[in-house]
A and B are shown apart, each in its own frame.
Chain A
Amino acid sequence: MRKAFVETLVDLAGRDERIFLVTADLGWSALEPFADRFPRRFLNVGVAEQNMLGIATGLAKIGYVPFAYSIANFSSMRCYEQFRNGPVFHGLPVRVIGMGGGFSYGHAGPSHFSLEDLALARLQPGALALAPVDSAQTRSILLQLQAVPGPAYLRLDKTEEPDIPALNGLFAFNAPQLVRPGNDLLLLSTGSIAQEALKASDLLQNHGIAAAVAVQAHLSFRAEDALIDLLRTHRAVVTVEEAFRTGGLGSLVAEAIAVHGLSCRLCNQGVNLPLDGVTGSREYMRRRHGLDATSLADRARLFLQELS
């Protein structure tokens, strides 16, 4: 996903002189294609995320479209107030890149986990909170963002996983994309953990459960029609996010159900405990918090039993 991000950004910057890349001293072995080709529009501000957001605000004010890059926990939290008071309040097209959301940096431990970023970005009605599920969707989002005059936060993965075939990189603001139909249950996810939801759907198939899979890369401030319509067609939904359970996708769906009086029942899966010092690979951390395919399938089956 990171490679797709940089390639697309290079492509866009070749056609659009407003595109600017600012980093808080991260992106080794990733950002070079941009830095080498557009040295005048590449800026490393040092380990200073708050200053980075201020600089991006100033650059955007005079017409640039700055992408402000750091690891997700840093770029979403260390400079959250600067994001709010700068690009959000001023309605400026700063794109904050949160590289490696969720447990991407597993061995680096809790300081490097990013389990709040999307919820924080989603809190701002003046910003877009985006978590593409694969590389193809990352490209789509970057292309569509070109027409967006205000700010956005993008959670991206640094690893390169295969694209989800049935998605074909499709993306629309405020809307989920259905990638697999199914009548018994809906698995709705955001970001790269969609891969686990797909595998969970495979496992449920073995138990005779037809689980639809949909992805919602844009965690909108409020639930819009496309999501509400999708939820109307299902009696049960399991939300899957590599994030704390409150504030993000699960909350968006809960709000949709409650506000619009939907009959769909919700099982919201995400990290549900305070972080401790235990670390490991991303796969291990997902398992530990019940976010791997097997745990998700087990939880979904239990949920359906509870409902019947």
Chain B
Amino acid sequence: MVPTTLAPLTDLKRMSRTMRAWIITQSFDSKVGHIGSALSVVEIMAVLWGRVLRGAGTSAPDRDYFVLSKGHAALALYCAFRWNGLIDAATFQTYCKDGTLLGVHPEVGTPGVDIAAGSLGQGLSIACGLAYGLKLRGSEARVYTLLSDAECNEGQVWEAAMFAAHQRLNNLTALVDVNGMQALGRTRDVLDLGPMKRRWQEFGWLARDVNGHDEAELLAALEENRIQEDGPFVVLAHTALGKGVSFMEDRLEWHYRNLTPELAKKALAEIAQAEEP
């Protein structure tokens, strides 16, 4: 597999910044939380959907597959769909409104979504099934899945991790959003997952730690992964919950809280003032 051309990353940085603003405006408009989780995966989504994935979200037979195992970050996924034209602005704005297919989690029938999610711990297994079947067919398509760090509390994640390594699923890439925060506290206080990298390595995965808010680092890791041959690959993307908005960053309550008009304005101003890509 030839690595995709490394064009300047300004397009991805612009995509990230736009998605971040869309997350704020839309969660404010829809009055739905999970803002912090969506903000922590913005750069991951930008790199995947802006550069790495080939044909994902379409019905092309040899497309790459993406499984959002941490389904509660779906708002960031919908932002990527909007950026790529998989959904239009009007559809995007139905997010979490009555009758929408754009719920808090990706659902069956949501445009661009192959696998619905919402119950943590199940996406990696489905990704394994996709990857195993695609290999069997001689397909060159790849399967990507995004997990949360707290999701790794679920035993099924490690059942799937064992399977992927045993079957040498080198067409499978998992990304873990390591923001260190779970529903009731910091991961290290609730159920310590450290050292995360060594755990995945001991389960037989090739693992890389990257700054999950740095498009260049993410892209380099994923491109390196495209040509690796031994087995499954995991990118441990170190991030901050609520990244990009000072009063949300690394603050547990932004798993849950909704924005007031004042806070939404403040957040958008901060995003707009961030360095021009």
In the assembled complex, which residues on chain A have CB atoms less than 8 Å from the CB atom of B116?
85, 89-90
Stretch of B17-25, B123-131, B178-186 on the interface side:
B123-131
A58 & B128 in contact (Cβ 8 Å cutoff): yes
Q: Mark A207-234, 1 if CB is under 8 A from B, else 0.
A: 0000000000000000000000000000
Q: Please list the residues of chain B having a beta carbon within 8 angstroms of any beta carbon in chain A.
A: 108, 114-116, 118-119, 121-134, 136-137, 155-156, 159-160, 162-163, 166
0/1 string, A35-78, CB within 8 A of B gives 1: 00000110101101011011111111111101000000000000
Count of A-B residue pairs with CB < 8 Å: 90
- Taking CB atoms, residues of chain B closer than 8 Å to A53 are 125
Across-interface contacts of A45 in B (CB, < 8 A): 159, 163
A58-B126, A81-B119, A90-B115 known; A51+B132 contact, CB < 8 A: no
The 3 closest A-B pairs by CB, nearest first: A58-B129, A54-B125, A55-B129
Whether A50 contacts B125 by the Cβ 8 Å rule is yes
Chain A residues, Cβ within 8 Å of B163: 45-46, 48, 51, 55
Binding site for B on A (CB under 8 A): 40-41, 43, 45-46, 48, 50-51, 53-64, 66, 81-82, 85-86, 89-91
Q: Could you pull out 30 A-B pairs where Cβ atoms are within 8 angstroms?
A: A40-B136, A43-B132, A45-B163, A46-B159, A46-B162, A48-B163, A51-B125, A51-B128, A51-B156, A54-B123, A54-B125, A54-B126, A54-B129, A55-B126, A55-B129, A57-B126, A58-B127, A58-B129, A59-B133, A61-B115, A61-B129, A81-B119, A81-B122, A82-B122, A85-B122, A86-B126, A89-B108, A89-B116, A90-B115, A90-B116
User: Measured between alpha carbons, how far is A41 from B115 in the docked complex, in Å?
Assistant: 23
Give me 18 other A-B pairs in contact (C-beta within 8 A), A58-B131, A59-B133 excluded. Answer: A41-B136, A48-B156, A48-B159, A50-B122, A50-B155, A51-B160, A53-B125, A54-B124, A54-B129, A55-B125, A55-B128, A57-B115, A58-B125, A58-B128, A58-B130, A63-B133, A81-B122, A89-B108
